[in-house]
A = this chain, B = another copy of it.
Amino acid sequence: MYRRGFLRCPLALAASIAVVLPAIAQPNPMPSWNDGAAKAAIVDFVQRTTTDSSSELVPVAERVAVFDNDGTLWTEQPVYFQLAFALDRVKQLALQHPEWQSREPFKSIIAGDMAGLAASGQKGLLEVIAATHAGMTTEEFSHTVADWIAKAQHPRFKRPYIDLVYQPMIELLAFLRSHGFKTFIVSGGGVEFMRPWTERVYGIPPEQVVGSSGVVKFVMQQPDKPVLMKEAKVEFIDDGPGKPVGINRFIGRRPILAFGNSDGDQQMLEWTAAGSGPRFMGIVHHTDARREYAYDRQSHVGKLDKAWDEAVRRKWTVVDMKTDWNTVYPFEKQ
């Protein structure tokens, strides 16, 4: 009788499933992770902090998990994807800037001469940022990013850049959220470069994305029509010691779980580790040149050196991409 009554009310059934699910051990959460120390450590941490009867139960409001983006949630080789975006924009905008044909660093970029671009150093890079990330409204920039991300292709994989997200990390984000965690991105990348697509790709809404930013200015463009203009001035670099600062400023709560992949994440991991109660610190180690890339101490992009030593010393979880992940990209499953 109980079952018959219950089945007659699909709404009650659906609602109950939604309520009960997180409490039931799922058969295999995170199927793209091989069984091993890394996966076991993650599952153990989540169980200890979210099981009602656990002595280490963490209140839902404090289940804050932060993730670096480049190299942690998606690929960052051969160059940060935001740099690829900026270079594509320079080539596109060159039509309106004939003077760029003879002016560095634009001349090198148009010629596809990466060594020439590198030679222009920090100053050249700031000119590229100014030319591609400023002098427009926040809405115009957002549309430009959305347009690029829909069309541009990665040079090696010949696929849109958002295809190059890590399937195991997507599963980890979902696993955490199904256990009451709130997931945040804390990236050195530009916050306005990420927000147009993070919700769709990672399930992380704009207000949970922390990143680097440039100055924006409120301007009344026409009567009753204000805009926010992006200026060619760096406001905040959310990298290295800037990551705990960004976490404090945007989230205002210390995370209990943090995942990164490079020395730029070291202070975020240290800040997470320094809280009281259960903590989880993880690092993605890029060891798979065949399926993705292999790099660490010597890499110009995503250098992993000091943070790796600290992870070993403090027994943080180091994920070996080659052995811990049976799938790297979602398209491998298709």
Q: List residues 1-59 of chain A with CB under 8 A from any CB of chain B.
A: 1-6, 8-9, 11-16, 18-20
Known: A205-B61, A271-B218. A15 touches B4 (CB 8 A): no
Q: Which residues of B contact A241 (CB under 8 A)?
A: 217-218
Copies in the assembly, this chain? 2
Judge if A302 is at the interface, Cβ distance under 8 Å.
no
A74-82, A97-105, A243-251 - the one binding chain B: A243-251
Using CB atoms, name the residue of chain B closest to A207.
Answer: B251
Judge if A286 is at the interface, Cβ distance under 8 Å.
no
Judge if A289 is at the interface, Cβ distance under 8 Å.
no
Cβ-neighbour of A18 out of B15, B217, B249 (below 8 A): B15
Q: Which residues of B contact A207 (CB under 8 A)?
A: 64, 182, 207-208, 250-253
Q: A226 touching B5 by the CB < 8 A rule?
A: no
Q: Which residues of B contact A244 (CB under 8 A)?
A: 218, 226, 228
Q: Which residues of B contact A182 (CB under 8 A)?
A: 207
Judge if A113 is at the interface, Cβ distance under 8 Å.
no
A14 to B18, CA, bound (A): 12
Q: A1 touching B5 by the CB < 8 A rule?
A: yes
Judge if A156 is at the interface, Cβ distance under 8 Å.
no
Q: Could you give, for residues 224-265 of chain A, a 1 whenever the CB lies within 8 Å of some chain B CB and a 0 otherwise?
A: 111010000000000001101100111111000000000000
A233 to B156, CA, bound (A): 46
A217 to B209, CA, bound (A): 21
Q: A245 touching B216 by the CB < 8 A rule?
A: yes
Q: Could you give, for residues 153-182 of chain A, a 1 whenever the CB lies within 8 Å of some chain B CB and a 0 otherwise?
A: 000000000000000000000000000001
Judge if A213 is at the interface, Cβ distance under 8 Å.
yes
Q: Which residues of B contact A144 (CB under 8 A)?
A: none
Determine the main DSSP class of A at the interface with B: helix
A15 to B22, CA, bound (A): 14
Judge if A151 is at the interface, Cβ distance under 8 Å.
no
Judge if A206 is at the interface, Cβ distance under 8 Å.
yes
Q: How near does chain B come to A144, taking the closest CB pair, in angstroms?
A: 16
Judge if A273 is at the interface, Cβ distance under 8 Å.
yes
A1 to B5, CA, bound (A): 6
Q: How near does chain B come to A127, taking the closest CB pair, in angstroms?
A: 24
Q: Which residues of B contact A216 (CB under 8 A)?
A: 245, 248-249
A residues sitting closer than 8 Å to B (CB atoms) are: 1-6, 8-9, 11-16, 18-20, 61, 64, 138, 182, 191-192, 195, 199, 205-209, 213, 216-218, 220, 224-226, 228, 241-242, 244-245, 248-253, 267, 270-271, 273-274, 314
Given A6-B6, A226-B274, 15 more A-B residue pairs with CB atoms under 8 Å apart are A1-B5, A5-B9, A11-B19, A12-B12, A12-B16, A15-B15, A15-B16, A15-B18, A205-B253, A206-B253, A207-B250, A213-B249, A216-B245, A216-B249, A218-B271
